[in-house]
Amino acid sequence: MGDIRQRGFMAGIELVQDQMTKEPYPLSAKAGHRVAAIARSKGLILRPIGNVLVLLPPLSTTAEELRKIVEILAESIETLHID
């Protein structure tokens, strides 16, 4: 992750190749789309916009549900492999 932007319950998570230099993935790698597909297979729907993942949980989301969202998101990002 390169940057996390948040406004209320909406958050944008930027995916980068290198956390130190903040070098982005090339758009052709479809990093955001690939992470969103992995997360969807685990039950979490994300909105990928280029290399940014957008989370828009309902305002009625419980603390336990938020923990599960973060867990699935972290697992999905960790399994991303781009050659």
- The burial of 53, by beta-carbon neighbours within 10 Å (0-12 exposed, 13-18 middle, 19 or more buried), is given as buried
| Mean pLDDT of the region 39-61 | 92
Q: Between 18 and 56, whose confidence is greater?
A: 56
Q: Which domain holds residue 67?
A: 3-78
The torsion region of residue 43 among left (phi > 0), alpha (psi -120 to 50) and beta comes to left
Q: Distances from the Cα of 81 to the Cαs of 5, 29, 77, in angstroms?
A: 24, 10, 9
Residue 61: pLDDT above 60?
yes
User: Does residue 83 sit within a domain?
Assistant: no
| Mean pLDDT of the region 21-48 | 90
Please check whether residue 25 is in contact with residue 19, taking contact to mean a CB–CB distance below 8 angstroms.
no
Q: How many structural domains are present in the chain?
A: 1
Binned at pLDDT 50, 70 and 90, residue 71 comes out as very high
CATH of residue 35's domain is 3.90.1150.10
The C-alpha atoms of residue 28 and residue 58 are separated, in whole angstroms, by: 31
Q: Between 69 and 18, whose confidence is greater?
A: 69
